[in-house]
Structure 1
Amino acid sequence: MNFNEKTLEVKNIYNGKIIDVDVHTVELPNGRKSSREIVNHSGGVAIIAYKDKDTILLVEQFRKPIEKVILELPAGKIEKDEDIELCGIRELEEETGYKAKEFSYLGKMVTSPGFCNEYIYIYKAENLYKGKDNLADEDEFINVREMKIEKIKEMIKSGEIIDAKTISAFMFL
């Protein structure tokens, strides 16, 4: 069976700094019409930054949508027309104060394909060295944490780490 939906019309209902929202009128595989609310996002990059073979860097920050401080991989939004790898290199330094001599692509994931077109690209950073500190955005407050990989795995299993990109990235280890 063909599960594809044919887009008949797209209406933009919101343009923001981080996301846009469109309503698509679609024709379903059975010929009926329906609508889909779609959040458009430019995507992001997350970095597994190895301080040493057993230790990676996480960032701790408050996330307003869930009203919690959470631990997650350093990550950030891809700017318009920005190269994905260069975004990762930039975000690593902005969020942790480190640069990497080795920076390699591991894979990608979709965050919430039921309503959002965001992809997050996962990179591995090794042989870290100090870059510039305090490059985080003016509205971003981050605490960098060095954590053992085994401890992070325990925290994922116990529900202490709940960030989806961080949990998903561990599949690449």
Structure 2
Amino acid sequence: MTYKTIHQWKSISLIEEEVTLPNDQSVTHTTIKHPGAAVILPINDNGEILLLNQFRPSLKKWLLELPAGTMEPNEDPTQCASRELIEETGFAAGEIISLGQVTPLAGFCDEIQHLFIAKSLSPSDEYSCDDDEVIEVVTMSHTQLQQYIIDGKITDAKTIACLSKAALCGYI
């Protein structure tokens, strides 16, 4: 399938392509091409969840959210989860459990977010945020996290999705 790149930023691009729909109609569709990401629900030995209070320049505000990050070229989603957990929280996981995936923006983006639980956490010396990240690590109980979602203090979709999937699968 051929496409035209309209804009490229890091590993993310905006493309335009001709797509044939299931009804045989052909349309020009604009898509954000994304390499995929890992979302991590880190649970410490006390059963508390590690979250990030992260400044998001696109929204110009702070968001409480789970650690997450974009996959590097040829990187396995589990490797990405391990790397991002260390980079953003300063903790390594002894155990990583896959929860499957979600498609957060299917109307205009091909990103797949791979969901994980991280357990048996231990401090790591490899903590280093990206240059455009301003992050504070926060811990809270599962109950407090649920209440923050109910109260609208947590609005981040990947955080809500990962927590919901973990609860539905009986992990928390």
Q: TM-score, normalised on structure 1? A: 0.89
Q: How many residues align?
A: 166
Q: 1:158 to 1:13 in 2, by over 3 A?
A: same
How far off its partner does 1:54 sit? 3.3
Give the aligned partner of residue 40 of structure 1. 33
CA contact (8 A) 1:50 1:57 kept: yes
> For 1:52-63, what aligned pairs fall within 5 Å after superposition?
52=45, 54-63=47-56
How far off its partner does 1:62 sit? 0.9
> What are the Cα deviations for residues 132-158 of structure 1, in whole angstroms up to 9, with x where unaligned?
264111221110000111111011111
**Alpha-carbon distance in 2 for matches of 1:32, 1:100:** 48
1:91 aligns with 2:45: no
> For 1:1-173, what aligned pairs fall within 5 Å after superposition?
9-52=2-45, 54-132=47-125, 134-171=127-164, 172-173=166-167
CA RMSD of aligned residues (A): 1.6
How far off its partner does 1:11 sit? 1.8
Structure 1: gaps spanning 5 or more residues: 1-6
Higher-Rg structure is: 1
**Alpha-carbon distance in 2 for matches of 1:29, 1:95:** 42
**Alpha-carbon distance in 2 for matches of 1:88, 1:11:** 31
CA contact (8 A) 1:47 1:125 kept: yes
Structure 2: gaps spanning 5 or more residues: 168-172
**Alpha-carbon distance in 2 for matches of 1:73, 1:114:** 23
CA contact (8 A) 2:88 2:128 kept: yes
Matched residue type, 1:108: Q
How far off its partner does 1:27 sit? 3.0
CA contact (8 A) 2:8 2:14 kept: yes
**Alpha-carbon distance in 2 for matches of 1:30, 1:73:** 39
**Alpha-carbon distance in 1 for matches of 2:25, 2:86:** 50
Matched residue type, 1:125: A
Greater strand percent: which structure?
A: 1
Q: How many percent identity over aligned positions?
A: 36
How far off its partner does 1:25 sit? 1.6
CA contact (8 A) 1:96 1:133 kept: no
